[in-house]
Amino acid sequence: MRSFDAIVIGAGQSGPFLAARMEEKGMKVALIERKFLGGTCVNAGCMPTKTLVASARAAHVARNAGGYGVTIPGEIGVDMEVVRKRAETVIMEARNGLISWFANMDGITVIYGHARFENERTITVNGELLTAPRIYLNVGARPAIPDMPGIGDIDYLTSTSIIAMDTLPRHLVIIGGSYIGLEFAQMYRRFGAEVTVIERGPKLASREDDDISDAIADILRAEGIAVHTSADRIAFKNGSDGIVVAVGDGIADITASHVLIATGRVPNTDDLGLERAKIATDKRGYITVDDKLATNVDGIWALGDCNGHGAFTHTSYNDFEIAAANLLDGEDRKLSDRILAYALYIDPPLGRVGMSERQARASGREIMISTRPMTRVGRAKERGETKGFMKVIADAQSKQILGAAILGIEGDEAIHGFIDAMNAKTTYPELKWAVPIHPTVSELIPTLLGDLKSV
Ligand SMILES: Cc1cc2nc3c(=O)[nH]c(=O)nc-3n(C[C@H](O)[C@H](O)[C@H](O)COP(=O)(O)OP(=O)(O)OC[C@H]3O[C@@H](n4cnc5c(N)ncnc54)[C@H](O)[C@@H]3O)c2cc1C
Ligand SMILES: NC(=O)c1ccc[n+]([C@@H]2O[C@H](COP(=O)([O-])OP(=O)(O)OC[C@H]3O[C@@H](n4cnc5c(N)ncnc54)[C@H](O)[C@@H]3O)[C@@H](O)[C@H]2O)c1
């Protein structure tokens, strides 16, 4: 049995960085990965999808160039093979970057294989036993496939398999209208496919406030995407022209050339032998952790998507920062200090931080709200992209900013004005006096705060 100072299982967005920090401090570390270094973000998530979104935006800008006085003769075409290759190049550069990074670290042994617990100190991989006093789990998640009538009879795509596609679907039907569903919906519409989104809930992106969900639906419908919500009787069967998707509720059957299942993700914890180490999970399979990411078993921690406290690259990376600071830097970092922020990469994007209006109201606080349409943002007008709006919610008593949303051009970047202010605990009256640069989207942040009204 080989012994290490630490074993890291899964090379997602926290494990590799933690392994590297431990190695730097002289520890001997085993990093076990069953597929590709970089995990979901690099190989099947953020990096390829945002590369594809960029291709889709290029097509959209080219198609609309005439309105800006730029004439492009002929029809705008999309070469799906080039589109796919671009994404593949970005994946391979990032993956190979990680491979060479680890190749130069003497204290890290990278092992490719599926790891399972034998007991709380021992792991088996490729038939070999490994042991360490510290074990970190960064095993991530995979697409959830719901048990829907007929699903076993059809060929469907997931967010992983669609990345390898290099042909244009005639009609892409997407089940699930949240992050994955909406990003692929707009992307494939812009590539030239007919696209239908079918969502079980009453709204798209249902974690957001209704005004945001409605504006997102308007943006997508305006590009010719069909959206069906409150569809909870979806069934599939193979037909002569493709896959027949029955939606119910008086909506005619839809014939799809391709179906993408985008109904959430499940943690990779069912095949890890957790029961042999007596590691607790919740009823959805997420590993239970405390405020410092420790599991119920001494010497075992869970980071990233598999602990259910975030499903983003930056939350996984922050888990690494918390674990590394507490183990190696004598700090006392906690999960509960994190203010959640994220973006939805439709175009225009949605940047979000902190509480939604719904959450702020439910907290029982006295709140203030301000909104501003992007039609009243100079930068948006100049760019000719005025869809969406900005919104901020503040605590009327403490004057702290509770949350913000920017659905509009550069919303994913401009939201960082709020993210930084909230992390620095700056009150909104202080931020009102900032002097931003003109003409930007961010320049409206002080104005937005100046318009806060009690509700
Ligand atoms: C289509 C898509 C788009 C996304 N876009 C964004 C985005 O724009 N921004 C954002 O912040 N997030 C995005 N995400 C989410 C983001 O990819 C994840 O939150 C992020 O990768 C963090 O994951 P992780 O570190 O928990 O683990 P992962 O990256 O999932 O890695 C886990 C690794 O563990 C390995 N593994 C699992 N079980 C075992 C085992 N038993 N033995 C050995 N190895 C094992 C897996 O092979 C995998 O490589 C997206 C996700 C998807 C699917
Ligand atoms: N921009 C980003 O940061 C980004 C992009 C893509 C993915 N991600 C991550 O990936 C994770 C998974 O994304 P997702 O969109 O698959 O999941 P999700 O959990 O956000 O949304 C799933 C959607 O599918 C719907 N749904 C579930 N079962 C259904 C059914 N049987 N029929 C119809 N609709 C159904 C749900 O109501 C929900 O709207 C997210 O949690 C997110 O963190 C992030």
Q: Which atom of ligand 2 approaches the CA of 178 most closely?
A: 15
Nearest CA to ligand 1 atom 27: 140
In tens, the pLDDT along 131-180 reads 999 999 999 999 999 999 999 999 999 999 999 999 999 999 999 999 99
Cα–Cα nearest to 306, from 267, 263, 359: 267
How many percent of the chain have pLDDT more than 90?
A: 98
Q: Which atom of ligand 1 approaches the CA of 163 most closely?
A: 1
Assess whether pLDDT exceeds 80 at residue 410: yes
Q: DSSP label at 225? A: -
In tens, the pLDDT along 180-199 reads 999 999 999 999 999 999 99
**Of 49-58, 181-190, 231-240, the least confident:** 231-240
Find the 41 Cα to ligand 1 centroid distance in Å. Answer: 5
Catalytic-residue membership of 438: yes
What local confidence, expressed as pLDDT, does residue 250 receive? 80
Evaluated on CA atoms 82, 86, 88, 93, the torsion sign reads: positive
CATH architecture for segment(s) 341-454: 2-Layer Sandwich (3.30)
Cα–Cα nearest to 168, from 290, 292, 79: 79
Rounded to an integer, the average pLDDT of 59-79 is 97
What local confidence, expressed as pLDDT, does residue 164 receive? 95
For the chain, the domains span 2-142+266-337, 151-263, 341-454
Mean pLDDT, the chain, rounded, equals 97
CB 139 within 8 A of CB 9: yes
Rounded to 10 deg, the angle between the 80-103 and 15-24 helix axes is: 20
* Token pair in block for residue 302: 């869970």
CATH architecture for segment(s) 151-263: 3-Layer(bba) Sandwich (3.50)
CB 347 within 8 A of CB 384: no
Find the 141 Cα to ligand 1 centroid distance in Å. Answer: 6
Nearest CA to ligand 2 atom 18: 264
CB 230 within 8 A of CB 262: no
In tens, the pLDDT along 280-330 reads 999 999 999 999 999 999 999 999 999 999 999 999 999 999 999 999 999
Cα–Cα nearest to 393, from 408, 404, 383: 404
Rounded to an integer, the average pLDDT of 226-234 is 93
Length, in residues, of the chain: 455
How many percent of the chain have pLDDT more than 70?
A: 100
Q: Is 318 in the pocket of ligand 1 (CB under 6 A)?
A: no
Evaluated on CA atoms 298, 304, 310, 315, the torsion sign reads: positive
Instruction: Report the chain's C-alpha Rg in angstroms.
Output: 24
Contacts of 334 (CB under 8 A, 6+ apart): 291, 292, 322
Assess whether pLDDT exceeds 80 at residue 72: yes
- What residue has token string 């919500």? 229
What local confidence, expressed as pLDDT, does residue 347 receive? 98
Q: For residue 178, say whether it is annotated as part of any ligand binding site.
A: yes
Confidence band, pLDDT 50/70/90 cuts, at residue 232:
confident
What local confidence, expressed as pLDDT, does residue 88 receive? 98
Rounded to an integer, the average pLDDT of 70-93 is 97
What local confidence, expressed as pLDDT, does residue 248 receive? 83
Contacts of 425 (CB under 8 A, 6+ apart): 400
What local confidence, expressed as pLDDT, does residue 416 receive? 98
Q: For residue 50, say whether it is annotated as part of any ligand binding site.
A: yes
Nearest CA to ligand 2 atom 43: 311
Q: Is 412 in the pocket of ligand 1 (CB under 6 A)?
A: no
Q: Is 46 in the pocket of ligand 1 (CB under 6 A)?
A: yes
- What residue has token string 């900013």? 401
Q: 393 to each of 94, 282, 368, how far by Cα in Å?
A: 38, 32, 6
Q: Note whether 2-142+266-337 and 151-263 share their fold.
A: yes
CB 401 within 8 A of CB 418: yes
Contacts of 260 (CB under 8 A, 6+ apart): 156, 157, 158, 159, 162, 172, 173, 174, 175, 181, 184
SS3 call for 319: helix
CA–CA gap between residue 270 and residue 337 (Å, rounded): 29
Please, what CATH class does the domain formed by 2-142+266-337 belong to? Answer: alpha beta
In tens, the pLDDT along 203-219 reads 999 999 999 999 999 99
* Catalytic residue chosen out of the listed positions 114, 258, 309, 438: 438
What local confidence, expressed as pLDDT, does residue 239 receive? 96
What local confidence, expressed as pLDDT, does residue 249 receive? 74
Q: Which atom of ligand 2 approaches the CA of 201 most closely?
A: 37
Rounded to an integer, the average pLDDT of 93-112 is 97
What local confidence, expressed as pLDDT, does residue 208 receive? 98
Evaluated on CA atoms 92, 94, 97, 103, the torsion sign reads: negative
Give Cα 210 to chain centroid, integer Å. 20
Assess whether pLDDT exceeds 80 at residue 455: yes
What local confidence, expressed as pLDDT, does residue 334 receive? 98
